[in-house]
Amino acid sequence: MNESANSNPSPLGPASLTLAGHSYSLPVIEGSEGERAIDIGSLRAQTGHITLDPGYGNTGSCESAITFIDGDAGILRYRGIPIEQFVDSPTFIEVALLLIYGHLPSQEEYERFSEDLTRFANIDEGMKHQFEGFPRSAPPMAILSAMLNALSCYHPELHELEDEAELHHAAARLISKIRTIAAYAFRHSRGLPYIYPDPGLRYVPNLLHMMFSLPYQQYVCPNVVRKALNLILMLHADHEQNCSTSTVRMVGSSGANLFASCAAGVSALWGPLHGGANVAVLEMLEQIHRGNITPEDYVKLAKEKESKVRLMGFGHRVYKNFDPRALMLQKVAEELVPMLSGNDPLLDIARRLEDIARSDPYFIERNLYPNVDFYSGILLRAIGIPTNMFTVIFAIGRLPGWIAHWWEQNQTVGGRIARPRQIYTGPTLSDYIPIEERGQG
Ligand code: CMC
């Protein structure tokens, strides 16, 4: 059962707001880690005003018991457990179950879920034909989003989930099939035959098998690759109310099913300011490697507002000190990249960019540090993942988080459809003019 996501009233008491000579009292609530919020649920009813917060930098959209981030201290915890504790032992699937169900799975729960992942790994043969409808050049993220949505056509019985048993069926199908869909999207882009999932393989080796095996030539996943990809997936598994997760919650708030909501999450993740940054980082490093621009000039360009260039893989809405996921990935990249692909010049360029940026007042004053995407691409490249699949891997990793948030919201008593308001700035009352009276346009 999910832990309840209820906050408490803050011991500091309510906030008071003075507006046009009137005083209003607004409750202040406190979460389990001492984060405080002014509850403005009655603001419009009391005052006739709304709040304005483009980009939602100051807005809590929900209460949640899934993931805790302290951006100033560089802390990230899943259900209370610091991510640093996930380096060696758990598999991505254990972490997925922790996020979705709120506790670490017992051996029996873990095995049951793993067996279902194996059982559900194939997609309907009819669905396979849908891949043929996409051009060879179709971005795998577009295919992934379309195909997750298509899953809802094959599972109408899972559109409404009544209890955890039904959630289990939907979650196991999604987590298993996203891997098959991702691999098929890749095979399609290369014109390669689709490779069926192998029931003898665990989650990560099976994904790589479907991507890289050839008929009669099985891809054998080296242990070091399995561990690295497992870590990447775990570190991406949830990140509270980021753009894609908020999208999943937003779509889910209308009552849309889990498949459709997660498909929307994939679309949100695709953008270069979010999950697509791992591709953008690699493109930036390659551009520098090709000699098109020096690291120094790139950083200079990233500081010029008019250039619209950003130092990709740097900065974060929440982390204003360091991103703990970036630290962990950097350490693993430093160990594994030389082992897997020799001396990768892109790793040297990344180190150089980081050195320049971290000693530059522009980046220091704005608290811009490497984020999760800065080193993940280099690591993915070293383990053989092609660039157009980087964000797809991110999506596979983030899926348990999306499912956990969708379910948490679905279970919230008294939940409302997400429907922000706006401040209208368009024309005031105007008359319709018939077309023949409008003159030349
Ligand atoms: N390069 C250059 N300047 C930057 C960068 C950057 N990467 N990031 C932020 N800034 C500047 C920004 O121009 C602004 O300057 P000023 O105060 O002079 O206007 C200041 O820093 C604050 O930035 P912001 O855009 O208000 O910050 P935000 O919280 O809205 O955006 C961000 C966060 C991650 C979208 C942004 O830092 C960025 O675009 N980074 C590059 C893309 C990237 O790496 N994205 C991955 C994010 S982590 C994983 C994920 O979410 O998927």
331-346, pLDDT tens digit by residue? 999 999 999 888 899 9
> Are 121 and 206 spatial neighbours (Cβ–Cβ below 8 Å)?
yes
DSSP string, 232-260: HHHHTS--SS-HHHHHHHHHHTTT--HHH
- Best residue among 69, 235, 371 to mutate for probing ligand 1's pocket (most ligand atoms within 8 Å of CB) is 371
How many angstroms does the Cα of residue 101 sit away from the middle of ligand 1?
33
Binding site membership of 302 for ligand 1 (Cβ less than 6 Å): yes
Ordered alpha helix ranges (H), 121-222: 125-132, 140-154, 164-190, 203-212
> Are 400 and 234 spatial neighbours (Cβ–Cβ below 8 Å)?
no
Position 342 scores a pLDDT of 85
Position 101 scores a pLDDT of 97
Position 3 scores a pLDDT of 42
Position 441 scores a pLDDT of 67
Position 327 scores a pLDDT of 94
Binding site membership of 236 for ligand 1 (Cβ less than 6 Å): no
124-182, pLDDT tens digit by residue? 999 999 999 999 999 999 999 999 999 999 999 999 999 999 999 999 999 999 999 99
Position 87 scores a pLDDT of 81
Atom 3 (ligand 1): residue with closest C-alpha? 310
Position 414 scores a pLDDT of 87
Q: How far is CA 279 from the centre of its chain?
A: 14
Other CB atoms closer than 10 Å to residue 301's CB: what's the count? 15
Which parts of the chain have pLDDT scores under 70? Answer: 1-5, 441
Candidate list 168, 238, 373, 405, residue with the active-site label: 373
How many angstroms does the Cα of residue 310 sit away from the middle of ligand 1?
7
Nearest to 194 by CA among 184, 182, 208, 180: 184
Position 124 scores a pLDDT of 95
- Which residues share a beta bridge with 37? 29
Candidate list 168, 188, 316, 405, residue with the active-site label: 316
Query: What is the C-alpha to C-alpha distance for residues 326 and 317, in angstroms, rounded to an integer?
Result: 15
Q: In angstroms, what CA-CA distances link 398 with 33, 241, 246, 284, 393?
A: 23, 12, 12, 24, 9
Residue with tokens 């997750």: 148
Q: How far is CA 193 from the centre of its chain?
A: 29
Strands (E), 323-388: none
Position 439 scores a pLDDT of 85
User: Can 316 be counted among the known catalytic residues?
Assistant: yes
Other CB atoms closer than 10 Å to residue 257's CB: what's the count? 21
Binding site membership of 313 for ligand 1 (Cβ less than 6 Å): yes
